[in-house]
Amino acid sequence: MRLSMVLILLAQCAVHAGGPAKVAPINERLKKDVADAPLSLRFKGTTAEDCKAWQKDFAAKLKTLLGPHAPPAKWKTTVVSVKEFDDHRREELLLNADGHPPLPIYVLIPKRPLPGRGAGGEGKRKLPAILAIHGHGGHGHHPVAGRDDLPSVDNAIKNNNYDYGRQLVRQGYVVAVPCLTPFGDRLGKWGSKVDACGDVFIRMQILGRTLMGENLRDCLWAIELLARHDAVDAERIGCVGLSYGGRMTMLTAALEPRVKACVISGALNAMQERVSRPYGCGAQIIPGLLQYGDVPEIASLIAPRTCLWEVGSEDKLIDPLWADEILLRQRRAYKAHGAAERLMLERFEGGHIWHGKAALVVLEKALRR
């Protein structure tokens, strides 16, 4: 037997004698990779010119990562139902456009002017509008629109103060409440034990689309619906949302300059923190994001427009250290624009719920004439 063959056999015996080779488990390896993510496009400038140039570059990269997300230019509107209340009108609509899945959406229209406005003043003018985005859950957009007449929706409203769309129409705003994917009416009867967020994300990926991009398209579609509404002043549009609705509020405001003010509730966390451990919510994943930035960078695209974050003292989904890091990086952009006062934080006693106290004041100030 040749010497080289003997050496190979001896080496193989040594390996088998010592057991299998020790390698880092995938979870450990991914945790390190996430911690060491490049975040190569973090904002490092100091002036408004620096920030504008950075915002242009980062927004362009973000749009590429999201994949197709442009809303249709034309659509047909089907009225599903109409309900009249003492203080507002609720229209349940279905928007249909070629090449896009139908979008279920509520439009809530007030029957009186904003509080404190005389009927001879603002009451005769077009009204400010709000896009109100729901979070995770089987009920989709129904709780946000105040559909406590539907089974178990009333409990969702009570548990999370979840009818903020209805609360805002009662303050005199025209409110659009779309149903996102894969929730509520968009999910239907899910016959699989596999989590819908992860499953739908994977299947969209193989088609060249992202779930977050799909939902951004529908949010932008809803804003276009508001902007064209006869009762709406298209120069005064805001956006609000809780949990995943907060995440989508941030993304929509970041990429849609017509959003003059936003309230982001229960979403002051970073994806670098969330995916440092096993994670399955495909509705929040933008493939490749951590190569260039994270939540603070997306939120920085909102500057210098008004942005309020809501954080509950008992919200277990928000890590205080990461929350501070997000605000620190976002403040850099606002400071560069000379608009530090337009980035705000409201801490309140409570959990993962919509609070809405400071929100009313902030929206009123940002969206009034």
Alpha-carbon span 160 to 175, nearest angstrom: 19
Determine the pLDDT at residue 20. Answer: 72
pLDDT digits (tens, 9 = 90+) for 249-302: 999 999 999 999 999 999 999 999 999 999 999 999 999 999 999 999 999 999
Q: Six-digit token pair at 328?
A: 């620190």
Question: Is the bond preceding 182 in cis, omega lying within 30 degrees of 0?
Answer: yes
pLDDT digits (tens, 9 = 90+) for 251-261: 999 999 999 99
Instruction: Decide if pLDDT at 173 tops 50.
Output: yes
pTM of the model: 0.92
Report which of 49, 116, 368, 105 is spatially closest to residue 217, judged by C-alpha positions. 105
Determine the pLDDT at residue 2. Answer: 55
Instruction: Decide if pLDDT at 22 tops 70.
Output: yes
Instruction: Decide if pLDDT at 119 tops 90.
Output: no
Q: What share of the chain is helix, strand, coil (3-state, %, to 5)?
A: 40, 20, 40
What mean pLDDT is predicted for residues 299-310?
98
Determine the pLDDT at residue 113. Answer: 60
Task: Give yes or no for a contact between 150 and 84, defined as CB atoms under 8 angstroms apart.
Answer: no
What mean pLDDT is predicted for residues 122-133?
85
**Domain segments of the chain as ranges:** 41-367
Determine the pLDDT at residue 114. Answer: 53
Determine the pLDDT at residue 14. Answer: 47
Q: Six-digit token pair at 307?
A: 């942005």
Give CATH for domain 41-367.
Answer: 3.40.50.1820
Place of tokens 């009333």: 154
Report which of 171, 183, 94 is spatially closest to residue 135, judged by C-alpha positions. 183
Report which of 248, 224, 247, 250 is spatially closest to residue 237, judged by C-alpha positions. 224
Residue type, 23: V
Q: In what helix (H) or strand (E) does residue 183 lie, and over which residues does it extend?
A: none
Determine the pLDDT at residue 194. Answer: 85
Residue type, 333: A
Q: For residue 251, what is the DSSP state? A: H
Q: How many other C-beta atoms lie within 10 A of the C-beta of residue 70?
A: 12
